[in-house]
Structure 1
């Protein structure tokens, strides 16, 4: 039994391990139990436990639900928000924060710096053929998303209403409802997201 457990730990993905450690740290800092986070996020306690131990890599939908339950942003949960706010911040290509869904191949690449209080995020999404982000939880009121389709065809679902974006199309919407992104074609799809919390912060 002991040898089996050691082997299991050895196969852990270091990215999943780091993500799990951060989830556990932020949960403990918030003085919340796994059961409380489960109720707030809608993610099962068993799944949360596996995520914290680094045994399970969550989908982007699950990761975002955990972030919202912890009262933080997805980028802050995945990355490091210890950089002090300043007027100048350079992000080199090899320093970009990348989240990859192991099940679908979906990639979320944060292009803007991870800084506390930054009201705007610029993100690049890669969606493989026939892949979907799954339904994403609503953001707080006032958060908006601007989508720019740059490759392939992207279907955007917003509160059960779907819009198909061709290359070069753009879409702006208020993100305080459940939404998702899907590639139903046989070609890879790519799109940029500008996520703004400026209106939410001004309320």
Structure 2
């Protein structure tokens, strides 16, 4: 009897995402000639945790990945990779090809919308944020200035930048620099969805 079960692209993306993160973190660390100890000192993540992440033996949270990204001088979105080794980057990313990842701590999911590896000054990410979820990013200082805009597609998101609270409703768009502690939370009883635009070019 033939097995007619089919696996969707989303299933495939979620099943190998930890290995993609592992390969990406290891490659970025090697490109910068950082030892495990040096990266641990830069980002505040323990040497043992970084080693486990690079082996694909851990499911890191969004907060841990953000610390790693800051230590490596890249955006959180770039840690998910997605490009195929040896294959030229393409300007089009179909919906089924876009990598999706779920934060094991808060339950929020993020989907990398931008074509992986394509040279561009910004990246787009789609986020589904559950009701009651909260994520606190502690990193403030980065080697390069990074900018982010949040556009709420549905629901409500509260964002605290430093000491400033911004309560965002559907259709609202907030621009920010990633130079202070940042907290995302959903105080509503329904899930929220928003788009992140991330870039490292200085604002004019």
Q: Please report the TM-score for the alignment, with normalisation by the length of structure 2.
A: 0.79
Q: Does 1:103 align with 2:105?
A: yes
Q: Distance in 2 between matches of 1:168 and 1:131?
A: 20
Distance 1:137 1:99, change over 3 A: farther
- Would the alpha carbon gap of residues 116 and 68 (structure 1) be closer, same or farther in structure 2, given more than 3 Å must change? farther
- Asked if structure 1 preserves the Cα contact closer than 8 Å seen for 2:73 and 2:143, the reply is no
**Of Structure 1 and Structure 2, which has the larger fraction of its residues in helix?**
1
Could you tell me whether the CA contact under 8 Å between 2:137 and 2:181 is conserved in 1? yes
SS at match of 1:18: helix
CA pair 124-118 structure 1, distance change in 2 beyond 3 A = same
**Cα root mean square deviation, aligned:** 2.5
Aligned equivalent of 1:90: 92
In structure 2, what is the equivalent of residue 79 of structure 1?
A: 81
Matched, 1:182 2:163: no
After superposition, the Cα gap between the structure-2 partners of 1:160 and 1:43, relative to the gap in structure 1 and judged at 3 Å, is farther
Structure 1 equivalent of residue 9 of structure 2 = none
Consecutive unaligned residues of structure 2, counting only runs of 5 or more, are: 1-14
1:43-78 Cα offsets, whole Å, 9 max, x none, are 122322222232221112211221232233333321
**For residue 149 of structure 1, what is the aligned residue in structure 2?**
152
Structure 1 gaps of 5+ residues are 1-12
TM-score, structure 1 as length reference: 0.79
Where do 1:56-75 residues align within 5 Å?
A: 56-75=58-77
